[in-house]
Structure 1
Amino acid sequence: MKLPIVAYGDPVLKKKAEDISKDYPELGQLIQNMFETMYSANGVGLAAPQVGLSIRLFVIDITDKEEPGLEDFKKVFINARILEETGTLWDFNEGCLSIPDIREDVKRLDTVKISYYDENWVHHEEVFQGLAARVIQHEYDHIEGKLFTDKLSPLRRAMIKSKLDAISRGAIKVSYKMKFPSSSKKR
């Protein structure tokens, strides 16, 4: 089932998410719904706060048959904790399903070490680099109550403020279901 994606301005996107337990109600169905929602919106990652749930869960699929290491990169991250971010800072033009039609260059370190549980409650502690690290950091920020726009300079944020306000009001057109905080409408 496709879930509505929460738009910029909703308080759930700025709240630090809570850990969940193995017996979280209908977790398997939620994960399946999150993947379906992400795919229908042409995303590569989706965090639970983006569907209105303040829990430490995100899904990623950056499978790329041409990219070494990403040939089959579809993962579920539960109760994730970034242990270390290292390497070189690099810019990448990021977007977000909760902030449609806005893309900005964001600096992030290129290597991340993360501890998490997968959908089968198997614990992992892994190191990811490059695009995988970036997508993980972006989705991880969501469960920490942060958005990529928080990483922009105050001047850049001021320059896109009217666009952000329009998103919050629902004064945009999107091809997927969204829930807007300043409006009672869902689209």
Structure 2
Amino acid sequence: MLTMIALFASALRPARALLQAPTRCRATRLFARQPGGRNPEKFERSDLTITEWPLPVLRNTNNPVEDFDDEFRSLCSEMMDVMYQADGVGLASTQVGIDKRFFVYNPTGDRSRKDFEVIVANPNIFEYSEQTETDEEGCLSSRSEECAGRVTRSSWIWVEYQDEEGRQKRKKLKGFEARVFQHEYDHIEGVLHFDRFSEKDRARIQPTLDMLLEAHGPGGVLELSDEKKAALQPPLTASRMPPAVEAAAPKKKKKKPATAGFGGFGGGKKKR
């Protein structure tokens, strides 16, 4: 599971130019098609469903992928298909209730651009740039249009992971692709995009989170512990990165949830 706003990826520029464009100009398909950013109730060719906050599975940290077999590759392909149907650009294992450390993404959001599809297993972000970009992010697991907000991410990162065949990969990502990777990496660390919101953005989406919590019933309160907050990786500087906010913030007076918005999608050392 950004500029997370904006236009549709099916419009517009060639994909390579798209990925190199300034964030505010980039075209993406990050939000679900249904009203309010809801996901389809059922996906074609799949029994998978996208898990929504506040289900506890979204706070899980998962076991490593060990078997890079046909079953795993088929599952990755199925998740990629579900991601496209939900109008996303990334989807993590925790979002479909799978206890393995992997995610899939295509930063163009364009099903026809198979050359941009990436399967990431057992990843690690081992270097973050000090330079950051702040942009709108939403998530397919939290009403992407209604629960979007501004998140600061490193402009580039160095990552290592295994692909669908188990081959080791090591590369530098930048721009929008770096943002997608960081968002999805957060998912398999049990961190959600709104944990990184400013207090103002968190307060704005709280009525929708309260509504989802009420609909879920008892046992659905999910807090980001102090230990987890302390473990969040760079860029977490007071001047550039909003602090993580408790996922179960005190309830405010109920307001009518927003009906429009945008949609959507951790260690290492900081490069100076």
1:53 matched to 2:98? The reply is yes
* Root mean square deviation of aligned Cα: 2.3
Residues 119-151 of structure 1: per-residue CA shift (max 9 Å, x gap): 011100111000010000000000000010000
Q: Aligned pair in 2 of structure 1 residues 17, 64: CA closer, same or farther (>3 Å)?
A: closer
1:7 equivalent to 2:52? Answer yes
Q: 2:186 aligns with which of 135, 141, 155?
A: 141
User: Structure 1's 57 and 182: CA in aligned 2 closer, same or farther, altered over 3 A?
Assistant: farther
Identity %: 35
Structure 1 residue 98 corresponds to structure 2 residue 141:
yes
SS of 1:99's equivalent in the other structure is: coil
Query: Which aligned pairs between 1:33-112 and structure 2 lie closer than 5 A?
Result: 33-63=78-108, 72-100=115-143, 101=145, 102-112=147-157
CA distance, structure 2, for counterparts of residue 44 and residue 64 of structure 1: 5
Q: Distance in 2 between matches of 1:136 and 1:99?
A: 18
Distance 2:109 2:70 in 1: 32
Q: Hey, what's the Cα distance between the residues in 2 that align with 1:24 and 1:11?
A: 28
- Counterparts of 1:132 and 1:12, CA distance in 2: 25
Distance 1:71 1:4 in 2: 23
Q: Partners of 1:103 and 1:137 in 2: how far apart?
A: 16
- Asked if residue 152 in structure 1 is aligned to residue 197 in structure 2, the reply is yes
TM-score, scaled to structure 1: 0.82
CA distance in 2, matches of 1:72, 1:26: 22
For structure 2, list consecutive stretches of 5 or more residues without a partner in the other structure. 1-44, 219-272
How many Å apart are 1:167 and its aligned residue? 3.2
Give the whole-Å Cα distance in 2 for the aligned partners of 1:46 and 1:96: 9
Task: Give the AA of the match of 1:97.
Answer: L
User: In the TM superposition, what is the alpha-carbon distance from 1:165 to its structure 2 partner?
Assistant: 2.5
TM-aligned CA distance change 1:118 to 1:50, over 3 Å: same
Alpha-carbon spacing, 1:64–1:40, altered in 2? closer, same or farther (3 Å): closer
Letter in 2 for 1:167: L
Shift in Å at residue 182 of structure 1? 4.0
Q: Who wins on radius of gyration, i.e. which is larger?
A: 2
Equivalent residue in structure 1 for 2:73, among 25, 28, 39: 28
Q: Which has the higher strand share?
A: 1
Please state how far the C-alpha of 1:29 moved relative to its aligned partner. Answer: 1.9
Q: Structure 1: which 5+ residue stretches go unaligned?
A: 171-180
Conserved 8 A contact 1:64-1:72: no
